[in-house]
Structure 1
Amino acid sequence: MTPPSPQARFGTDVYAHRLTAAARAAAGAGLAGLVITPGYDLRYLTGSRAQTFERLTALVVPAAGDPTIVVPRLELASLKESAVTELGVAVRDWVDGDDPYRLVADALGEPPLAVAVTDSMPALHLLPLAGALGVVPVLATDVLRTLRMIKDPAEVDALRKAGAAIDRVHARVPEFLAPGRTEADVAADIAEAIVAEGHSEVAFIIVGSGPHGADPHHECSDRELRVGDIVVVDIGGPYDPGYNSDSTRTYSIGTPDPEVARRYSVLQRAQRAAVDAVRPGVTAEQVDAAARDVLAAEGLAEAFVHRTGHGIGLSVHEEPYIVAGNSLPLQEGMAFSVEPGIYFPGQWGARIEDIVIVTADGALSVNNRPHDLVVVPAS
């Protein structure tokens, strides 16, 4: 594995602020503290990319007091790329034969009444930790989700850089689309471009040509592209320090059928309506409805088979989810996709996706490629 670059995390002050906010949120929720094992929450709080093994690594964030990280001695090197040392977090290392769960309990202080754990903690650690604490932990999701949903300036900057990088990839996609090439051929070229344009790796690539475009989660296959195909290209990946891009554009190999063009123009209006609806105080479901109403008015409601968007950050999919039934009011700093699509099984599909960030009075899109159906010459 390639070691993280020096730019693979933010400055120490960013993580110091997050740890303080997490402790304050835990106190506000009536918790004794948080126990965070490796995963996106640990990376968010300390910049650590440590992995979960059978030996426990856990960050303990008391509601009152200083944080501690419990780590196997043989895994101490995993902390080097994090901000743990610079933050002054106490390190309690342990060796085989010690009880790391007791170290966690000791770091929390008096026998706690309530403790929250990250939702990625494996049962391998959750069950013995509950035994050591004498209480069954609750999930820290409600405590941490607001912190992670509201992106700070450093995160916004990272998302904008990721968005610009994936825009550069989409600008190159037409050169990869040619009749006779397979979806897999195109995906391989896109994978190289994603890394070449600055991403640390590829998270996902969807190349859905012709009838495959009607499957929103199609990846790629050995199907050969043909003249007249509509091709959905949905791509993304992490950009240091680990914030993800995710953008979809739809292409036509040769001039599209007039009815395809008409339906696609409705999809454009739906995506624009949803972006225009974004502002603080509007609910997630209202943004979803803004896109859905445009499609319904043109008889395309049944062709839109998924939610309008998902939050994004260290994880490609996180809260907030832009979906019917989610009455969460948007707040400045939230970041999510706006990606309505239309799908006609056995025929074709189309999707337009941008990542937007809620501003004081609207939305900032980090993706700025044109939304038109991109016509690629057939020869």
Structure 2
Amino acid sequence: MTDRLARAQALLSDRGVDALLVTPGADLRYLTGYHALPLERLTCLVLPARGEATLVVPHLERPAAVAAGVALPIATWQETEDPFELVARLVGDVEVVALDDHMWAARVFALGAAIPGADQVLGGEIVAELRMRKEPSEIEALRAAGAAIDRVHRRMGEWLRAGRTEREVGEDIARAILAEGHLTADFVIVGSGPNGASPHHELSDRVIEAGDPVVIDIGGTTPEGYCSDCTRTYVVGGEPDAEFAALYEVLQRAQAAQREHARPGVTAESVDRVGREIIAGAGYGDRFVHRTGHGIGQETHEEPYIVEGSARLLEPGMAFSIEPGIYLDGRYGARIEDIAICTDDGLEVVNTTSRDLVRLP
């Protein structure tokens, strides 16, 4: 964590920012190793561009910070004290303070009042510059998360069948996500038939019918704090209609082309474009309604985003999803999603289950 703090300080200096203030969330966990609860009492990392960092915590939360292995000076405050004044004293006389992007608005205003002479700027992009380039230990954690969610997909035939509701299937999947090595089941999408045309459909009481295409998008967080996210499309109890089969073949070609194209030195938007052109060429351009992918790590969605308009060059260590989809409103949808990591000269895909249309009895 010391190296991460030092690299963050270097970025602060480069950007003319005097201090970074980070409250509970993924940025705090990344920088300090402390998964602090987002309580009404203020916990805040005070990271100056030069000098020693300090973690401000309520007095009653100090044992939790120590138990988490925080290797920083810890400054505590009592119930009747003003924690924002404590932060202001630690920050000192500065001109520019960066705040984490997810800080509660009440805290933004309180810090503005406590440090009135400083301009406030967003600090999320500073930490994102570090988080999007994964360290070897993080890559190993993402591999383990990918293997765990793959094990759930390989068991899909245990639960997914005609005559059951999406909710029944989803509850079984959620239990399996935990059983296969995750600490939490973060999301379960079971989009059967017309519900598959809604990319963020979750669960409903719709009964799955024979011949239904079913989009299964699932993910969780492992005990190491890293996320999984993988989508496969299934057909249950029969054969899909001819158009769906043709549509799915287009989707497979698009996703394969994106996996082949993605590597260090290409832009994020170019990965999106090569798949989108294939889908548009088959007449489904307006049915691919979301970006190709998102970064992943300690959060399911983080930088880099694989989307038109992002000229960011991919670099070794960047981890992201490749997940094109085609959605026909009122009929069905399909999506294929893998998590991939840029290597020095190519791409490592951590999800290894079949990308074919999986047919279940």
Provide TM-score, normalisation by structure 1.
Answer: 0.92
Structure 2 partner of 1:37: 23
CA separation in 2, counterparts of 1:80 and 1:180? 51
Structure 1 residue 151 and structure 2 residue 134: aligned?
A: yes
Percentage of matched positions with identical amino acids:
52
Would you say the 8 A contact 1:54–1:124 is kept in 2?
no
Structure 2 partner of 1:117: 99
Structure 2 partner of 1:276: 260
* SS, match of residue 119 in structure 2: coil
* Among 110, 115, 118, the residue aligned to 1:128: 110
Would you say the 8 A contact 1:46–1:82 is kept in 2?
no
Structure 1 residue 333 and structure 2 residue 317: aligned?
A: yes
Structure 1 partner of 2:33: 47
Tell me the CA shift for residue 259 of structure 1. 2.5
Tell me the CA shift for residue 284 of structure 1. 0.8
Would you say the 8 A contact 2:146–2:350 is kept in 1?
yes
Structure 1 partner of 2:355: 371
- Aligned pairs for 1:77-88 (under 5 A) are 77-84=63-70, 87=71
Contiguous gaps of at least 5 residues in structure 2: none
Structure 2 partner of 1:290: 274
* Among 332, 335, 347, the residue aligned to 1:348: 332
Structure 1 residue 320 and structure 2 residue 289: aligned?
A: no
Structure 1 residue 17 and structure 2 residue 13: aligned?
A: no
Tell me the CA shift for residue 277 of structure 1. 1.1
CA separation in 2, counterparts of 1:352 and 1:174? 18
Would you say the 8 A contact 1:49–1:78 is kept in 2?
no
CA separation in 2, counterparts of 1:220 and 1:121? 31
CA separation in 2, counterparts of 1:159 and 1:148? 13
Would you say the 8 A contact 2:164–2:208 is kept in 1?
yes
Provide TM-score, normalisation by structure 2.
Answer: 0.97
Tell me the CA shift for residue 318 of structure 1. 1.0
* Among 230, 233, 238, the residue aligned to 1:247: 230
* SS, match of residue 267 in structure 1: helix
* Among 251, 264, 275, the residue aligned to 1:267: 251
Tell me the CA shift for residue 286 of structure 1. 0.3
Structure 1 partner of 2:146: 163
CA separation in 2, counterparts of 1:298 and 1:31? 49
CA separation in 2, counterparts of 1:243 and 1:112? 35
Structure 2 partner of 1:64: 50
Runs of 4+ in 1 over 4 A off after TM superposition: none
Across the two proteins, how many residue pairs are aligned to each other? Answer: 359
The amino acid that maps onto 2:3 is H
Q: Deviations over 1:162-183 (max 9, x none)?
A: 0000000000012211211110
Would you say the 8 A contact 1:117–1:139 is kept in 2?
yes
